[in-house]
Amino acid sequence: MSEFSQATLKANGLSFSALEQGEGELVLCLHGFPDHNRSWRHQLPALAEAGYRAVAPMLRGYEPSSQPRDGDYHVVRMAEDVVGWLDHMGVEKCHLVGHDWGAIIGYATAALAPDRFHSLSTIAVPHLRRMPQGLRKDPGQVLNSWYMLFFQLRLISDYIVEFNDFAFIEKLWRDWSPGWDYPKGEMEALKDTFRAEGVKRAALGYYRAFFDAVSPAARETRKLTSAKIQVPTLAITGATDGCMDTVLYDLVMLEDDFPAGLQVVRISGGGHFVQQEKPAEVNKFLIEWIKEHSPA
């Protein structure tokens, strides 16, 4: 599992490890939950072959070196991390790609600093701007999101997630990507990430911060997640996603909210981890979008 170059990024007093491959314009790839940066193992080589420098960092908290002392896992802080990474690398503008939480962070970062991105590509989570209306029209999604409420039960969920060698993570992967026979070696590598000191607490901290309604960071986050996106956006959804109902894309991803352009792609037979399940199809749409929005 060492086919990629290793890099270290700095932002906001924290240190983040990253996988890297290729040379050219930067494509920054953000993973989700329960996942880590090897989620992009199929995309990094394809992007490199297409002439890009592909970098996939570990998100805030997913290793001890990036766990802030104040335990702040509000989306606005991760958006600031992304901008900080660009500053650290001396890159003025890049293409941003995100899956799951990485998608949420992608929308937020595009709202925070639209001038830093040529394009945005998101996978498996639509923009949250119209999500309240979407949930009213698709109440089944509330049931799909049961785990978000479960994670608010701190002692119980902390125990259950880790119980039986993180069997909970395997359950989510099976439920969210039905029919996918995920590689056992990749699951073991993911569990190694979650076994590291503080990672489980940090990963669940994203969901706990998301339910914060009163702090200044929560207000900053809501402002970003409700903003229109001024960056050309590709949104990819798996047709059989068991976590985020693909119907929501028809309800909440409206062109009016994406003045710079929006394309929604639905991958037949793909679940929540569609970039791992259907890499050839995802890579095709991803690279086409990035090339279309690369500077001449």
Mean pLDDT of the chain: 98
Report pLDDT for 3.
81
Q: What is the pLDDT of residues 228-280, one digit of tens each?
A: 999 999 999 999 999 999 999 999 999 999 999 999 999 999 999 999 999 99
Phi-psi region of 190 (alpha: psi -120 to 50; beta: other; left: phi over 0): alpha
DSSP-derived letter for residue 243 is S
Q: Which residue in 121, 116, 68 sits closest to 94, CA to CA? A: 116
- Coarse DSSP helix, strand, coil percentages of the chain, rounded to the nearest 5 percent: 50, 20, 30
Phi-psi region of 90 (alpha: psi -120 to 50; beta: other; left: phi over 0): left
Report pLDDT for 125.
99
Q: Domain 5-292 is classified in which CATH homologous superfamily?
A: Alpha/Beta hydrolase fold, catalytic domain (3.40.50.1820)
pTM: 0.98
Q: Which helix (DSSP H) or strand (DSSP E) does residue 29 occupy?
A: strand 25-30
- Rounded CA-CA distance 138/278 in Å is 26
- Rounded CA-CA distance 169/278 in Å is 20
Give the three-class secondary structure for 2: coil
* Domain spans, the chain: 5-292
Report pLDDT for 1.
46
pLDDT at 296 over 80: no
The tokens for 294 are 């690369």
The share of the chain scoring above pLDDT 90, in percent, equals: 98
Report pLDDT for 272.
99
pLDDT at 2 over 90: no
Confidence of residue 212 (pLDDT cuts 50, 70, 90): very high
- Rounded CA-CA distance 226/219 in Å is 11
Give the three-class secondary structure for 290: helix
CA 166 to chain centre: 21
Report pLDDT for 187.
99
Q: What is the pLDDT of residues 150-209, one digit of tens each?
A: 999 999 999 999 999 999 999 999 999 999 999 999 999 999 999 999 999 999 999 999
* HSE-up (13 A, CA, CB side) for residue 286: 33
The strand pair at 94-99 and 117-123 is best described as parallel
